[in-house]
Structure formats: structure tokens, C-alpha cells
Amino acid sequence: MTRVLILGGTSEGRKLAERLDEQADLHVTSSLAGRVRKPQLPPGEVRVGGFGGPDGLADWLRRERVGAVVDATHPFARTITDNAVAAAEQAGCPLLVLRRPAWQPGIGDDWRSVPSLAEAAALLPELGERIFLTTGRQGLAHFAALDLRFLVRTVDPPEPPLPRRTEVLLARGPFTVHDELALLREHDIDVVVTKNSGGAMTSAKLTAARELRLPVVMVQRPPQPPAPSAETVADAIAWLDSVLCRGNHAG
């Protein structure tokens, strides 16, 4: 039985674990960082918490005789990905980065692309007074000095410091366009701020912003390290079949 490690925490990581859990010749371990209090757990073996940096992960890969690693973490979890790439190289273990495609602006979108949360915060005073902030619960300190009204939506309570005028909405996607339109109208939102995480679970806010002709401040993804990559679960399974010499077992 071949062991596969999935560095998860995304819907793609869960879907991959579901598909691989059906394969009798694979033992799948999903690793979650532990940053969400009540994560949606994939099937199969699950471990929570770090490995102790790239050296610790490399030791674990060798000790557990892992045949392949799939990094299906969030597109903005750059430190985890960098550690995984370094560890896999140390251990001589094949690694694939599974990343959903980034969102792309369409006709009618008013996106202001920025490379960081700090630059997103710097843009806001010239764009509006009421901000819908959906960049996650970490990094909100970049917005703390702004005297604007913020509606902050996160899965878990956000980490301080927060802007002085902040309303917190705890919710987990997927969200519908109908509900996002209602939310933006109810709070009289002027600007939407988000990270370009991609995927369908939280894209409805972008459609709602387009319909309401609201500007979107879009924080771009960090550069992806040099490593094999795939955009879909099906492509990740095909890669695993290839590096593990399994043939077409995925069905």
C-alpha cells in the first residue's frame, strides 16, 4: 500500500482525499494546519498541526515512507508551500501543487489589483466609506488605522487589532449571488476587498459587486514556487497515477 500525503484545508484537498480514499492500494493522510476551529474534515486519516518546518516534514516523509505529496493548501499559504517544496526535495519525494485557477475580471468588473493587504488598505480612503472585507481573519492589522466602516466576514473570529468601526459576520461559504446582493445592499457597501483565492465557493460576491457597479480591491496571489502543478482534482489524480506507476486506477 502506497502512502500519499495531502496538505489540505481547501475544497480541492477534500475532494482529492474523497477520490483517493476509494482506492484500495493507497493510504491517504490529510494534514490540516489547524487555523480553523471546526474544519471540514476529509475522509481517511487526518492530522492537525505543523511538522516543524521543512526539516521536520522531510523527516516525516522519510519515516512514513510517503510515495507522493500533494500540496492542496490555500493559494495564499505561501510559507506552507515553500516548506513542502523544500521538504519533498530533501526527502526525494515527488510533490504536486494543486491550485484552483485564479479569478479573472470580466466585462463590467471594476477591479483594482494590488500585491498586498497593506496596499489594499492604502487605496480604500479614495474609494469609499463602507468596506466589505473578506481577506480572512489574519492580517486585519493593515486596516486598523483607517477611520472607515468595515463589515468583516470570516469563518472564525478575527484576530486583533481591528479597525475601530468594525462589524464581524461569521459565515462559511458557499454563498449565492442573491444573498451577496442582499448583504451588500443591507450594509450600503461602497467597496469590496478580497484575496484572489479563486473557486466557486466565494465568487458570488464578485458577481454581486459587478451588478451593483462597486469597485473590488483584489489582492493578487504570491508567486508559486517552481514545482509541478495542476488546477483540477482530476489532473492531480492523473499525476499521482503517473509518479506512482499505478496506471489508470482513478476511474
Dump pLDDT digits (tens) for 176-204.
999 999 999 999 999 999 999 998 889 99
The fold for domain 111-219 equals Rossmann fold (3.40.50)
**Portions of the chain given CATH number 3.40.50.720:** 2-101+223-243
Write down the pLDDT at residue 200. Answer: 87
Work out whether the CA dihedral 37, 71, 142, 217 comes out positive or negative: negative
The whole-model pTM stands at 0.87
Helix extents (H) in 44-151: 53-63, 78-91, 117-123
Query: Percent of the chain scored above 70 by pLDDT?
Result: 96
Q: What confidence score (pLDDT) does residue 35 get?
A: 66
Comparing C-alpha atoms, which of 82, 129, 105 is closest to residue 194? Answer: 105
Rounded-to-10 torsion of CA 97, 238, 7, 140: 50
Residue 37's pLDDT is what? 67
CATH topology of domain 2-101+223-243: Rossmann fold (3.40.50)
Which residues touch 71 (CB under 8 Å, ≥6 apart)? 7, 80, 81, 84, 85, 95, 96, 97, 98, 227
Core vs surface per residue 92-117: b (16+ CB within 10 A) or e? ebbbbbbbbeebeeeeebebbebeeb
Which residues does 90 contact at the CB level (< 8 Å), separation at least 6? 54, 55, 58
pLDDT in tens, 61-75: 999 999 999 999 999
With a cut of 60, say whether residue 248 has pLDDT above it. no
CA–CA distances in Å: residue 225 to residues 83, 92, 222: 10, 17, 9
What is the average pLDDT across 45-71? Answer: 95
Place 124 in a pLDDT band, splitting at 50, 70 and 90.
Answer: very high
pLDDT at 250: 44
In 139-195, where does DSSP find H-type helix? 177-186
| Mean pLDDT, rounded, for 49-71 | 95
pLDDT tens, 150-167? 999 999 999 889 999 999
Average pLDDT, the chain: 93
pLDDT at 40: 79
Question: If we measure between CA atoms, which residue out of 184, 220, 193 comes closest to residue 133?
Answer: 193
Q: Average pLDDT in the 6-13 region?
A: 93
pLDDT confidence band for 173 (50 / 70 / 90):
confident
Q: Which has the closest alpha carbon to 240: 61, 9, 20?
A: 20
Q: Return the minimum-mean-pLDDT range out of 184-193, 208-217, 218-227.
A: 218-227
Q: Is the pLDDT of residue 247 over 90?
A: no
